[in-house]
Amino acid sequence: MRILKFGGTSVGSADAFAQVAKIVATAHQQDGQVVVVTSAMSGVTDILINAAKAAAAGDRRPYREARDELMARHQMVAGQLVSDGVERAALGRLFEARLAAFERLCRSVEVLGELTARGLDVISGTGERLAAPLLAAVLRAHGVAAEWVDASELIVTTNVFGNADPIIEPTTEHARRRLSPLLQGGVVPVVTGFVGATADGISTTLGRGGSDYSAAILGAALNADEVQIWTDVNGIMTADPRIVPAARTIPEISYIEAAELAFYGAKVLHPKTILPSVERGIALRVLNTFDPDHAGTLIVKEPKPSKDVAKAISVIKGLTMVTVEGRGMLGVPGIAARTFTAVARANANVLMISQSSSEQSISFVIREGERDAVVGQLQAEMAQELASRHIDQVRPLDGIVIVAIVGAAMKGTPGIAARIFGALGDAEINVIAIAQGSSECNISLVLARGDADEAVRKIHDAFRLNEANGQN
Ligand code: ASP
Ligand code: MG
């Protein structure tokens, strides 16, 4: 049994839908039991969220336009790929009802002048609830027995709206009870990605890009042999090919390496996708809908040995480094603990920490959008120390990036840092800070945004990542 998850671009147009139908038909022939998970059509979730936010600000135009645009986009695919009149009419009614509900919700948001996280989850899940019935109909038109299923019937989540996590036991039970009969009857369930519901049946979402996570959750619940993430690139690459033209696909990578890469900005995989798969030892495969014969990347516990010490380089942009510094810090106990308590109070996520050994400063990296909240909380927390000059300042530095070099074999290989710094030194690129992850399979550098691309190219060269070092 395998799970096939298709991302937004894989269902972005009628041509893409047709391509997906071929892939699913082939998989269904090879392995009688296939579950499909789909994202919304590309760009749809953004449109929904922006329309809802505009409604809260009193602007009704975006949601009205969104309704018409989404109707047209989905009808267009149905018109081209679903020839059966009865099917098409049923789809039309479903789109109509969903989009009318979306419009009603936005109207209430507009009247209230307030958008709650709970309300937003109902609205933002609309895209998947349009795409899944459409894809199921397209599959039937291609001769594959298929039925769409709303994941709110399967994935039971916490009530953390906008970023919910599954509750394993009821999810396993619901998924098996609902999907097993379909699978046994040779029917392909087409499940909405991204969404779930609390035990009380209130709609939730798993976070942006969360359809990958949906696939992994269902894979674990159904004990799948493999979870396939179908996207628009040839698997996980050694670097972003737009930055490094010589970048190549990594044939095999470990769960830990893939998790580090996903965390550090490699967009192919949602970071939470790894965990449910690790726990059950389910292989994850990243494949390209538009080049289905390419082997892509296989993510497993123990990849075949490779000579590559560093496997890939990724970049996260849009970051701020905050430094708390002062000569008097040395004598003040608990500064680090209080610093991170203040950061937590601002609800910010820390991507990297570095402390100078002289203990006169602590620096950490957050997303730019969280800067004001974090600096505000820190100034409040350290008000006394700032007044007494034990701490000189809380200083944000915008416009930085983290470049992460990832590879499990870096552990225990001497000279890695020297190689990285040598490459950057030759290019006269200044490293603002450095940290090594505790897993030791990642070295992260803080650089100025303008240096990022050149740094990635130089490091890629230094580790000769363009050459297939015996991996293939
Ligand atoms: N449609 C959702 C999003 O854009 C989920 C996904 O695509 O994975 O975030
Ligand atoms: Mg995605």
pLDDT in tens, 334-387: 888 999 999 999 989 899 888 766 668 899 999 999 999 999 999 999 999 999
**Residue 132: nearest ligand to its CA?**
1
List the residue whose alpha carbon is closest to atom 6 of ligand 1: 209
Ligand 1 atom closest to Cα of 210? 8
Domains of the chain: 2-232 (3.40.1160.10), 312-462 (3.30.2130.10)
Averaged pLDDT for residues 274-285: 93
CB 175 within 8 A of CB 218: yes
pLDDT bin (cut points 50, 70, 90) of residue 19 is: very high
Per the document, the length of the chain is 472
d(CA 256, CA 441): 8
Residue 333: per-residue pLDDT: 78
Q: Which ligand is nearest to the CA of 40?
A: 1
Pocket test for ligand 1, best of 41, 208, 213, 272 (most atoms within 8 A of CB): 208
Which strands form 297-300's sheet, in the order they lie side by side? 146-149, 188-192, 34-38, 2-6, 226-231, 283-288, 297-300, 252-254
Residue nearest to atom 8 of ligand 1 (CA): 209
CA 396 to ligand 2 centroid distance, Å: 31
Q: Give the rounded distance of the alpha carbon of 41 from its chain centre.
A: 16
Name the closest ligand to CA 214. Answer: 1
Give the residue, out of 5, 6, 38, 39, with the most ligand 1 atoms within 8 A of its beta carbon, to mutate for a pocket test: 39
Identify the pLDDT of residue 321: 96
Q: How confident is the model at residue 469 (pLDDT cuts 50, 70, 90)?
A: low
Question: How far is Cα 130 from Cα 150, in angstroms, rounded to an integer?
Answer: 10
What pLDDT shows up at residue 440?
A: 73
| Cα angle, residue 45 at apex, residues 41 and 48 outer, rounded to 5° | 120
Q: Say if residues 42 and 48 touch (Cβ distance below 8 Å).
A: no
Q: What is the 241 CA–ligand 2 centroid distance (Å)?
A: 17
Tens of pLDDT, residue by residue over 195-208, are 999 999 999 999 99
Among 270, 333, 310, which Cα is nearest to 469's? 310
- Across residues 432-457, what is the average pLDDT? 89
Q: Is 435's pLDDT higher than 90?
A: no
Residues within a 6 A CB radius of ligand 1: 7-8, 39-40, 45, 127, 193-194, 208-211
CB 61 within 8 A of CB 54: yes
Token pair for residue 30?
């090879």
308 pLDDT tier (thresholds 50, 70, 90): confident
pLDDT tier for residue 438 given thresholds of 50, 70 and 90? low
Ligand 1 centre from 127 Cα, in Å? 9
Given a cut of 70, is residue 229 above it in pLDDT? yes
pLDDT digits (tens, 9 = 90+) for 134-184: 999 999 999 999 999 999 999 999 999 999 999 999 999 999 999 999 999
Percent of the chain with pLDDT over 70: 98
**What is the predicted pLDDT for the residue at 188?**
98
CA 295 – ligand 1 centroid, Å: 24
Q: Name the closest ligand to CA 125.
A: 1
Which residue is closest in CA terms to ligand 1's atom 2?
A: 209
The ligand whose atoms approach the alpha carbon of 215 most closely is 1
User: What is the pLDDT averaged over residues 271-284?
Assistant: 93
Strand partners of residue 205: 195
pTM (2 d.p.): 0.90
Q: How many CB atoms lie within 10 A of CB 283?
A: 18
Q: How far is the CA of 212 from the centre of ligand 1 (A)?
A: 9
Given ligand 1 and candidates 3, 41, 194, 204, which is best to mutate, with the most ligand atoms within 8 Å of its CB? 194
Residue 362 CA to residue 350 CA, distance in Å, equals 12
Per-residue model confidence (pLDDT) at position 471 = 41
Q: Do the beta carbons of residue 378 and residue 322 sit within 8 Å? A: yes
286-307 pLDDT tens trace: 999 999 999 999 999 988 888 7
Contacts of 446 (CB under 8 A, 6+ apart): 319, 321, 352, 354, 363, 365, 400, 401, 402, 431, 432, 433, 434
289 alpha-carbon distance from chain centroid: 18
CA distance 271 to 258: 8
Average pLDDT, the chain: 94
Q: Identify the CA nearest to 204 among candidates 274, 273, 156, 172.
A: 156
Q: CB–CB of 403/313 below 8 Å?
A: yes
CB contact at 8 A, 446 and 432: yes
> Is residue 470 pLDDT above 60, yes or no?
no
User: Could you tell which of 204, 211, 269, 289 is best to mutate to test the pocket of ligand 1, judged by most ligand atoms within 8 Å of the CB?
Assistant: 211
Rounded to whole angstroms, how far apart are CA atoms 8 and 138?
16
